[in-house]
Amino acid sequence: MFTDNLMGAHAFGKHFSVGDRNRNVLHERLSLKYDKEEETLYIKWEGTVSSVELRQGYAHIMDMVFTYRPQKWILDLQNRVSIEKDDQQWVFKYIFPEVLRAVRKSVFIAVIMPVFAYNSLVSEIDGDELMDGDNFMIINHFLFKEESRRWLQEMTLTDLKNAGA
């Protein structure tokens, strides 16, 4: 269930209107939450997601990115059916660079998914999509949520130490 009441328009508005709350993807396949205390964006995809639904969902995710500028993400894909390779590439080519530009810091994404699915996810990226100036998108794979939360905390502390050096 979509848990944020954000409204707005941006570059992703061409895919759909963020104000359209009747989209099935928001009720059945996508859960979003920003935890202010942890400064972490939680994203959970479930079931089969079409290309259109994926783009609709990422438009909502980007609204949260533009609002909160989260440096830490937990992306739970454990229960999502694999998406098409073109859709995977779309996320890496269009979404991740936009995230880096919006956040203006390095972004750490903890992906929770089975090992076999992770290999197919990152096998065809060249890495340019994961850099913006001095900022990087660091993606790591985990099997469990608690493990991913510990890694995010560690990465944030490391990033803060490096920024102060």
Separation between Cα atoms, residue 80 and residue 78, nearest integer Å: 6
Task: List the Cα angle 157/124/108 in 5-degree steps.
Answer: 10
Does residue 6 form part of some domain? no
* Whole-number pLDDT of residue 3: 40
Residue with tokens 């130490």: 161
What stretches of 48-95 show up as alpha helix (H) in DSSP? 51-68, 85-90
* Whole-number pLDDT of residue 81: 87
Does residue 3 form part of some domain? no
Separation between Cα atoms, residue 143 and residue 62, nearest integer Å: 25
* Whole-number pLDDT of residue 128: 66
* Whole-number pLDDT of residue 134: 87
32 near 42, Cβ under 8 Å?
A: yes
State the total domains in the chain. 1
* Whole-number pLDDT of residue 9: 37
Does residue 4 form part of some domain? no
Does residue 1 form part of some domain? no
3-state secondary structure of 39: coil
* Whole-number pLDDT of residue 123: 54
- Side-by-side strand order, sheet with 72-80: 30-35, 40-47, 72-80, 107-112, 135-142, 131-132
The boundaries of the domain holding residue 17 are 11-164
Does residue 5 form part of some domain? no
CATH of the domain at 136: 3.30.750.24
pLDDT digit string (tens) for the chain, length 165 residues: 334 333 333 444 444 444 555 455 567 899 999 999 999 999 999 999 999 999 999 999 999 999 999 999 999 999 988 888 899 889 989 999 999 999 999 999 999 987 665 555 555 566 667 888 889 988 888 988 999 999 999 987 877 566 554
Rounded to 5 degrees, φ, ψ at 81 are -70, 145
